[in-house]
Chains A and B, each alone.
Chain A
Amino acid sequence: MTRAVVFLLRRAVAGVFTLVAMVSLTFTIFWATPTQPARFVYQHQLLTNDEIRQANHLLGTDEPKLEQWVHYVTHLLRFDFGTMWESSFLTGNGQLVRPPIAPLVDPALRTTLSLLLGGAFLVLLLAVPLGTFAGSRLGSVGDRTVSLVALLGVCTHPMVIGILVRSLFAHRLHWLPPTGYCPLRNGAPGCTGIVAWADHLVLPWVTFALLFLALYIRMVRASVAETLHEDFVRTARAKGASPLRILSAHVLPNTALRILTMIGMEIGTAIGVCIYIETAYRLPGLASVAVRAMAGDSAALDLPLILAVVFVISLIVVAGNLVVDAFTLFVDPRVAIARGRATTKSAAGGVI
């Protein structure tokens, strides 16, 4: 019991280090960019030196870099996202009023998490039966069909799939709404509650699943095919166990470990894919916030907003990995014994 706790604690500490590293890296990259934060305060093109100095003082960018870094890291680790530079305005007596980031990021986070978790659930729901079906009859027609469909899913871009699915099911057939997101609570009337929420998210979930089904079906298929040759399966069969019992009680627990490892590695890719799906379906998620942070203004980057977005994305990855590690411990307690380096899994690396 304590070993498991120690293992999880070690992972959590590594996760915190990862978060700090991500924030620091973004911070460093920001300061290596020729960007002019003063543009957020004074919107006209040519700024005088006095204006630049004044703006940097108001924004806090003329303090030593180390102090700024400490300020950002300590605030972010307390989940205090601060205020952004964009849409800030100067009041009459020289004060800079900056809008807070949290009301922007919190609903976006909920949207993205809805998409991610629902999509992941759908993937598992579909991939495990299909993969098991394919793995238990290798080389048959069913196996080849499933593999082919899975291969097609990985060879198209999620945005293209999203657009096509949307134009078919929403614009042509009118079965589901094409765009928009309805929160579970506190939404507009007619757009709250679980029915409206699921209604708007079905097509995004299906698009998400189509891409990852390919990878997971292949993996489940390979793992099932391998496990079916093991001795204990032969013993179970000799004892008279039905195929269903063999699959559910003997084969699947072994596959579960690999699925969990793969989920842990793919969280980053999943977030990248989410960005495209959110654009295709106009879901107000982290994608739109990230886009706003990166390219809202033509020539300047909004540092607090970017840091908040990077932090949130890395937080999802770290938390996801922790949950996966906890489940892995539950499935296979030997993991806690192995002396491995605490590796950081890749965060939002999804560029596909």
Chain B
Amino acid sequence: MAWVAQFERVREGDATPPRPIGPWRLGWRRFRRDRWGSFSLLVLCVILVLALFGAATLTRLVGHNGQTPFPYAASLTGKRPVGPWTRVAALTTPRVDEYGGPLPLPRGTKTTLLVLGADGPLGRDEAIRLFDGMRTSLEIGLLAALVAVLIALPIGTVAGYFGGRVDDVVSTLTESIMAFPLLLFLVYANRFLLNDFGALSWSWVLPAGVVGESVLIGAVTSFYPLRLVRAQLLVLRHAEFVEAARMVGASDRRIMRRHLLPHLVPTLLVWGAIAVGTNMLVEVGLSFLGLGVDPSIPTLGTLLSTVWGTIFNPNTYNSHNYTPWQTIFPMAAMVITVVCLNRFADAVRSALEPRATR
């Protein structure tokens, strides 16, 4: 029986049992089995690539950048801003006669392609602004989530690990702050507190106001991860490995850092994915309040609020000027990103944490 021989060969070969698969590897395999989750991860990677490299690539391809206004795409024709895939005259200043009326263009005028149309009466390229906006919005979302974790992790760990009176104090403080009308506080903070942060910027990577807004959103949304961390640690601090570590003589700091922190990673990862989406929505909301970054900097929020106006300055509906494209593209980008982030977070949660029911 020759087929037995292959088992004997295998048995001679291995001296040690194979390494057990770690929890991250197992989690990744479980994650891969969730088809919608994997698809969301793929879409998120595509969005990331588009956001990081899309604007520069498109600028090279079409030959103009996102700030050049094209009057022939919008205001000069007296009609609505042009829709997707339109060729417009590549002139930045209109040719007008002495009364301001438009002159006919000579036959050889160069035209340029606006892939997603114009972004409003200014006639800038919507596609490049959209990619820039996606990048800035994602930056704000990520930075805000990071800030929130940076605030919540130390406080939550201390409150959850020590429990008792420390926990009482922190919880009461958190709940009272959470009970405050945060929207009003944001209005106040943006108008009176943010002047110092507004100066922090790093050319096109971090436009002015992005860091300030991320810090603000992060500070305001840090209460939820604080509660998550605290709740988990309140349970974990009675575990046997903590007791064992304490018996061996580990200091509290060492226990918190080496033994307890790794347990928080899945929870914070899931929360982080959802939080990036939520922060993007918050940023849109702040732009609608007129409190976001400067409207000249493209983010998904400013792209929408320049079309629809802010709370203090709402634009009236004008059916002659209105094209749905300037609303559809930023909104589609936002919805797709947030939906994928949520779905990804759900899949990660199912993959990394034991589930009792489906």
Contact = CB atoms under 8 A, between A and B. Distances in A.
A178 interface: yes
Interface of A: 18, 21-22, 25-26, 29, 33-35, 138-139, 151-152, 154-157, 159-160, 163-164, 167, 171, 178, 225-226, 229, 268, 271-272, 275-276, 279, 282, 287, 290-291, 294-295, 301, 306, 309-310, 313-314, 317, 343-352
Interface in B168-198: 175-176, 178-188, 191-192
Interface in B238-286: 277-278, 281-282, 284-286
A160 B327 contact: yes
B357 A348 contact: no
Contacts of A160: 284, 304, 327, 331
Contacts of B308: 159, 163
Given A151-B343, A350-B183, 7 more contacts: A21-B176, A226-B357, A275-B183, A345-B179, A349-B182, A349-B183, A352-B285
Contacts of A349: 178-183
Contacts of B220: 351
A352 B278 contact: yes
13 contacts: A22-B180, A29-B188, A33-B192, A139-B358, A151-B342, A157-B288, A171-B319, A229-B357, A275-B183, A291-B311, A294-B191, A343-B175, A346-B179
Given A21-B176, A152-B335, A155-B342, A295 B285 contact: no
A60 B308 CA distance: 40
Interface of B: 175-176, 178-188, 191-192, 217, 220-221, 277-278, 281-282, 284-286, 288, 304, 308, 311-312, 314, 317, 319, 322, 327, 331, 334-335, 338-339, 342-343, 357-358
B285 A159 contact: yes
B327 A352 contact: no
- Which of B180, B188, B286 gathers most chain A CB within 10 Å? B180
Q: Which 6 A-B pairs have the closest CB atoms?
A: A348-B181, A155-B338, A346-B178, A347-B179, A349-B182, A294-B187
A348 B358 contact: no
Nearest to A178: B317
B285 A276 contact: yes
Given A155-B338, A155-B342, A291-B311, A351 B187 contact: no
A348 B319 contact: no
Given A155-B335, A159-B288, A171-B317, A34 B184 contact: no
Contacts, number: 135
B194 to A, nearest CB: 13
- Which of B181, B185, B288, B358 gathers most chain A CB within 10 Å? B181
Contacts of A345: 179
A20 to B, nearest CB: 11
B320 to A, nearest CB: 12
A22 B192 contact: no
Nearest to A298: B191
A310 B192 contact: no
B192 A157 contact: no
Contact of B284 (A21, A157, A344): A157
Contacts of B343: 151
A155 B274 CA distance: 10
Given A171-B317, A226-B357, A306 B184 contact: yes
Contacts of A313: 181
A310 B184 contact: yes
Contacts of A154: 338, 342
Contact of B314 (A226, A279, A344, A346): A279
A229 B286 CA distance: 44
A155 B281 CA distance: 8
Given A25-B180, A344-B179, A351 B357 contact: no
Contacts of B311: 275, 279, 287, 291
A346 B342 CA distance: 23
A34 B358 CA distance: 55
A176 B93 CA distance: 43
A187 B241 CA distance: 69
Contacts of A167: 317, 322
A70 B338 CA distance: 46
Given A22-B179, A156-B334, A314-B181, A276 B282 contact: no
Contacts of A164: 327, 331
B339 A138 contact: no
B182 A348 contact: yes
Contact of B285 (A22, A225, A351): A351
Contacts of B319: 171
A4 to B, nearest CB: 24
A77 to B, nearest CB: 17
Contacts of A34: 192
Contacts of A18: 179
A158 to B, nearest CB: 8
A130 to B, nearest CB: 18
A159 B314 CA distance: 12
A195 to B, nearest CB: 25
Contacts of A35: 192
A157 B288 CA distance: 10
A294 B357 CA distance: 48
A68 B183 CA distance: 25
A309 B185 CA distance: 12
Contacts of A310: 181, 184
B270 to A, nearest CB: 15
Contacts of A225: 357-358
Nearest to B187: A294
Contacts of A155: 277, 281, 334-335, 338-339, 342
